[in-house]
Amino acid sequence: MSDFKTVLLAIDLSEEAVQVANKAHSLAKNSGASLHVIHVIEPLSFAYGGDIPMDFSGIQDEIQKQAKSQLSTFSAKYDISADCQHIVIGRPETEIHAVAEELNADLVVVGSHGRHGLALLLGSTANGVLHGAGCDVLAVRVEDN
Amino acid sequence: MSDFKTVLLAIDLSEEAVQVANKAHSLAKNSGASLHVIHVIEPLSFAYGGDIPMDFSGIQDEIQKQAKSQLSTFSAKYDISADCQHIVIGRPETEIHAVAEELNADLVVVGSHGRHGLALLLGSTANGVLHGAGCDVLAVRVEDN
């Protein structure tokens, strides 16, 4: 059987996420699969390199609270219930792989900008998710805004 | 509308191609999409670096003939008609992108080994196809034989 049973949609809560979510929703519906959604928040200490000791805990909590609220609003449009919404803090590729494994997902859907040049060298999230994924990965081509 | 209209399945004619083709066939069927298949033959001169002037044309013709026959047998299992079978000589990523564009495909399906290490540095075909693709790319995780 080639249909999917559990689809994990990874989104960044940008405007482009809708294009990716539409595809994931349609695929899950066609396959009769359950649809989960994950949003990964990168810790501020990652973004700032972690070499300056600062206390980001208050800001981090606020970011997490807002992300949760946005993910909830987003998920409602696709009938994704609260227990299928995952907010995780960490590196996107690592956390997406971990949750995919936990859910025994057979497909991860992620957005891809298809950019050349620097992004190719640095590796996009789609690229990172592709490598080391234990399941299929659909990279949805999104138009840059 | 999020369903696919034209799906391009890229295969290497290995035993693993069946796993990739099953997914592509199922997806195309579910979406009511037309299914095309492409197999790219890398010219022998690429494989040998091209620095020694040798005449490979006879061998190349034979490879092409055998590939065409194998692709035809393979395609029959998935009801892919002759005009939807594409044999191209060149670099896989480049040719897959070119044919996808020509067909106005909205999804390319390709196998992925999900290997780490060297393959990550050198870039797998799935990775190459992902970058620069003008449409969605589904990387189907295949088990190494």
For B20-33, what is the mean pLDDT?
Answer: 92
The residue among B137, B140, B142 with the most chain A CBs within 10 A of its CB, best to mutate, is: B137
Listed residue (B54, B139, B125, B44) closest to A129, CA to CA: B139
Residue B57: per-residue pLDDT: 76
What is the per-residue pLDDT for B58? 83
DSSP state of A43: P
pLDDT class for B46, splitting at 50, 70, 90?
Answer: low
B16 inside domain: yes
**pLDDT for position A55:** 74
- Is B36 a residue whose pLDDT tops 50? yes
- Where does residue A102 fall: left (phi above 0), alpha (psi -120 to 50 degrees), or beta otherwise? alpha
The answer to whether the beta carbons of residues B78 and B110 sit under 8 Å apart is no
Q: So what's the pLDDT on residue A120? A: 43
Question: Considering the domain boundaries, does residue A40 fall inside one?
Answer: yes
Which residues from A are below 8 Å from B135, CB to CB? 141
Specify burial of residue A98 (Cβ count, 10 A radius: 0-12, 13-18, 19+): middle
What domain range includes position A123? 6-141
Does B34 fall in a domain? yes
Contact B141 A133 (CB under 8 A): yes
- pLDDT above 90 for B13: no
Distance between CA B127 and CA A130 in Å, rounded?
8
Question: Would residue B94 count as lying in a domain?
Answer: yes
B43 occurs within a structural domain: yes
Query: Rounded mean pLDDT of chain B?
Result: 84
Q: Is the pLDDT of residue B102 over 80?
A: yes
Count of beta carbons in the 10 Å neighbourhood of residue B62: 10
Question: A122 with B116: CB under 8 angstroms?
Answer: no
Helix or strand holding residue B140 (H, E): strand B136-141
Beta strands in B19-116 (DSSP E): 34-41, 85-89, 107-112
Instruction: Look up residue B98 and give its DSSP letter.
Output: H
pLDDT in tens, A88-126: 999 888 999 999 999 999 999 998 875 544 444 445 677
- A53 has pLDDT over 90: no
Pair A130, A137: CB distance under 8 Å: yes
Q: Which pLDDT does position A59 carry in this prediction?
A: 84
Measured between CB atoms, which of B30, B131, B139 is closest to A30? Answer: B30
Inform me whether the C-beta atom of residue B112 falls under 8 Å from chain A C-beta atoms.
yes
Cα-based angle A28, A106, B105 (whole degrees, multiple of 5): 60
**Number of folded domains that form chain B:** 1
Contact A131 B139 (CB under 8 A): no
Residue from A133, A125, A100 nearest A6 by CA: A100
pLDDT confidence tier of residue B14, bands split at 50, 70 and 90: confident
* Mean pLDDT computed over B116-131: 61
Asked whether residue B1 is assigned to any structural domain, the reply reads: no
Taking a C-beta distance cutoff of 8 angstroms, is the pair B20, B140 a contact? yes
| pLDDT value for A133 | 83
Please indicate, yes or no, if residue A69 is contained in any of the structural domains: yes
Closest by Cβ to B133, choosing from A27, A135, A141? A141
What is the pLDDT averaged over residues A51-78?
87
* Strand-by-strand arrangement of the B107-112 sheet: A85-89, A34-41, A6-10, A107-112, A136-141, B136-141, B107-112, B6-10, B34-41, B85-89
pLDDT bracket for residue A143 (50, 70, 90): confident
Element (H, E) at A35: strand A34-41
- What is the average per-residue pLDDT within A41-50? 69
Entry pTM: 0.86
Pick from A15-19, A55-59, A66-70, A95-99: least confident: A55-59
Chain A residues within an 8 Å CB radius of B132: 114, 116
Query: Is A1 domain-assigned?
Result: no
| CATH number of the domain bearing residue B101 | 3.40.50.620
